[in-house]
């Protein structure tokens, strides 16, 4: 009788853990499907729109138009990432302007574009700060798509 109880418990544990494993696999499949459906729904205009946003931002930075550059930036809504991105507040804009002044942009180039979901994308932009010393750096942007319109956010 004791052996029978142990076998019954072992069977219950095995079936419990196998069900959990199946749930994780279904979640992965769901995430992959969501990713593929967003990316496959993108069109050339999406890439062009995001490139234009980054180019405009970097051109403002290059021309020392720091207020205009900072005014272009948004941040994810803290209550729900799927809500419309919100503009930076005044303190955040001042912080961005200080960074732009500290790291002057002489020239730039978009080096990588990755689209994953409407709220999780990555655009890397390298820029030259000093031609004679060949000092370069990069910024990573996080463009977010809300109701078909792209908003430019910086990566944290």
DSSP code per residue over 25-43: HHHHHHHHHHHHHHHHH--
Give pLDDT, residue 11. 61
pLDDT at 126 over 60: yes
Residue 3 has pLDDT above 70, yes or no: no
* Phi, psi at 62, each rounded to 5°: -65, -35
Same domain assignment for residues 121 and 80:
yes
Tokens 């991105």 belong to 85
With 60 as the cut, is the pLDDT of residue 92 above it? yes
32 and 62 co-located in one domain: no
User: Contact at 8 Å (CB) between 130 and 106?
Assistant: yes
| CATH number of the domain within which 97 lies | 3.10.450.50
With beta carbons less than 8 A apart as the criterion, state whether 153 and 144 touch.
yes
Digit-coded pLDDT (tens) for 132-155: 888 999 999 999 999 989 999 988
Please check whether residues 30 and 8 belong to one and the same domain: yes
Q: List the domain range (segments joined by +) for residue 91.
A: 43-153
CA proximity to 143, closest of 75, 80, 79, 93: 75
């Amino acid at each position: 009788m004791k052996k029978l109880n142990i076998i019954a418990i072992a069977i219950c544990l095995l079936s419990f853990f196998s069900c959990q494993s199946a749930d994780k696999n279904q979640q992965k499949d769901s995430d992959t499907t969501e990713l593929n459906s967003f990316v496959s729904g993108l069109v050339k205009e999406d890439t062009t729109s995001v490139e234009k946003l980054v180019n405009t931002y970097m051109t403002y930075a290059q021309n020392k138009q720091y207020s205009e550059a900072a005014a272009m930036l948004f941040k994810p809504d803290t209550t729900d990432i799927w809500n419309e991105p919100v503009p930076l507040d005044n303190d955040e804009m001042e912080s961005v302007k200080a960074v732009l002044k500290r790291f002057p942009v002489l020239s730039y180039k978009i080096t990588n574009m990755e689209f994953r979901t409407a709220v999780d994308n990555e655009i890397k932009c390298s820029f030259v700060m000093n031609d004679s010393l060949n000092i370069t750096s990069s910024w990573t942007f996080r463009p977010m798509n809300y109701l078909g319109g792209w908003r430019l956010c910086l990566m944290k």
